[in-house]
Amino acid sequence: MQLAYISSTDALRKLTESIDVGANIVKISPKGNTLSNGVDFCCVGLESRNGTNYSIQAYGREARELQQEATVIAKRTAMPVSSSNLERFAKAKDIT
């Protein structure tokens, strides 16, 4: 399946809302992240239901918008309950 996007935030929304893909955000660049030349940069990592990984990158104003949108989506998206997520949570909290 090939999808067309008009911006990085559009790609993020379509990948997270798609019934076919159903991607979850797994990593977001920190707010205010810049390259050595001073240009704002944001990278959002996603993983789909079938295990496919996606990376969305943006620069400048679009980077700030992507970081903000990814943060909003990540906060409102409940983490799916699965044995692998429970294992990750247990390791992060040192629960055995």
Domain map (residue ranges) of the chain: 8-92
> Which of 32, 55, 44, 48 has its CA nearest to residue 80?
48
Q: Whole-number mean pLDDT of the chain?
A: 82
Contact between 28 and 71 (Cβ < 8 Å): yes
pLDDT above 60: residue 82? no
Contact between 45 and 23 (Cβ < 8 Å): no
Token pair recorded at residue 1: 């399946």
pTM more than 0.75:
no
Check residue 95 and give its pLDDT. Answer: 43
Distances (CA, A) of 66 to 48, 54, 89, 92, 96: 19, 14, 26, 27, 36
Check residue 22 and give its pLDDT. Answer: 81
For the segment 40-52, the average pLDDT, to the nearest whole number, is 92
Check residue 80 and give its pLDDT. Answer: 54
